[in-house]
Chain A
Amino acid sequence: MVEKAVEETFAALFALTDLRQIFRDTKPTYQFNKEQKRQIKEIIEKVRQSLDVIEKELIK
């Protein structure tokens, strides 16, 4: 369903926006603490999952 793909498109964009905020909080040295490293991993995973759903819904 395209609706699911659209939802995941926003979900991925929002997750990447959270990553933008981590860049903002840690610039210009980007020395991430434990919690920030955990958040980054979570964001990457979230975006991957969203892309998987988008691919499944639209391409496969």
Chain B
Amino acid sequence: MKQMIEDIEVRAREELFININPIQAAGRLTPEAMKAIIAYGDGYSTCDWCGKPFRLDKIRRPPISEFHVELAKFVGMDQARVVPGARRGFQAVVSSLVEKGDSVIVSSLAHYTEFLAVEDVGGVVKEVPLNEENVITGENTAQKIEKVKRETGKLPKLIMMDHFDYMLGNEHDIHGVAKVAKDYDIPFLANCAYSMGVMPINGREMDADFLVGSGHKSFASPAPSGIVATTDEWADKVFRTTQTVGDVTGRKFGIKEVEMMGCTLMGANLIAMMASFPRVRERVKHWDDEVKKINYFIDEFNKIEGNKVLSEMPRKHTLTKVDTTGSFDKIAQTHKRRGFFFSDELKKRRIVGEFTGATRQWKLNTYGLTWDQIKYLTRALHDIAKKYGINVA
């Protein structure tokens, strides 16, 4: 592929290869988002028509203000803001609610940025253990809250729980956790980084106080982009406006929101997110088909002798962790390219996105692949297995 500018190459892997990278699948742009980037790539491109009260989410041209209203409705919450990634959503909520020494409940499969958000304010992370199916339950969450209460004499200040986790793509008992949160009167943040934008999400039905989503993981948007949404009850706290006055100039910046650092996701990233929104709204209605495709793929994957699936079964999400220690890794032991033989074979068949060189445990994501591409992928894996003498049922 030709160089685009000096040493920056054209990235054409989405045009040339089937990409099964676990984190890239649902962040692939729609054509509308690609066009938005062409037109709105300049730095402060969203600021052409910014007038009073001078805040990003109030801009009417392009219709950023309307987008915020629609976004909140789409996720079943009262108010929403766009942020530079889900991590900034965690940070905004944690920074508003948690003080030094406070405990925050998270999953044993929580993303590292949840840890960092808590550390940033001097809080203490307390992890809820998984059950035997690698799932977080309301019951385990309640037990952890009781433990924290016994050990610290105080209740945790916040519960942050993943709807689907990034390690296994398992669905966690978000409703059970929300109920426990209500019972203990602890605010509850549902981390929907792997669900908002690919499947229907309703924060009110989840009984969540805060929802966080990821634009670049699940909303067909460029990185960084994300969403934080909340109820009217909590909006004044998390979206509080600045009260600071300059001691020399007496300057005030009244409408700017402290946790958002004023304006949040400016320029091409936001407009691309808005441009993808109509398709995202439509595609969540077809999540069942995506689930059918991953389960078809897994059925075929499991026909290769020695293959295993580490995620919960049947699959409820397209992000899946698999184990090929009993199949492709056996070949890697004696192959001159070691584990890279598998990547080589995949690449020859125009497939990329597996963890290069890994032949034991690795993750994949089939989101957005057509049925033809899913079938091509399964045939390719069968072909590789047969080529190296691994039985395929």
Contacts and interface: CB of A to CB of B under 8 A. Distances in A.
Contacts of B17: 27-28
Interface in B1-49: 14-18, 28, 31, 34-35, 38-39
A10 B39 contact: yes
Interface string B96-133: 00000000000000000000000000000000000000
Contacts of B39: 10
B18 A28 contact: yes
B38 A29 contact: no
Contacts of A24: 14-15, 28
18 contacts: A13-B38, A17-B38, A20-B15, A20-B31, A20-B34, A21-B31, A23-B16, A24-B15, A27-B16, A27-B17, A27-B350, A27-B373, A28-B16, A28-B18, A28-B349, A28-B351, A29-B372, A29-B376
Dominant secondary structure at the B interface: helix
B370 interface: yes
Contacts of A10: 38-39
Size bracket of the A interface? 10 to 19
A23 B349 CA distance: 16
Interface string B298-326: 00000000000000000000000000000
B352 to A, nearest CB: 10
Contacts, number: 39
Contacts of A14: 35, 38
A31 to B, nearest CB: 8
Residue among B14, B15, B28, B349 facing the most chain A CB atoms (10 A cut-off): B15
A21 B368 CA distance: 12
Interface string B326-359: 0000000000000000000000011100000000
**A-B complex: 10 closest residue pairs judged by Cβ atoms:** A28-B350, A23-B15, A21-B31, A17-B34, A14-B35, A17-B31, A17-B35, A13-B38, A24-B14, A18-B31
Contacts of B16: 23, 27-28
A25 interface: yes
Interface string A1-38: 00000000010011001101101110111010000000
A27 B15 contact: yes
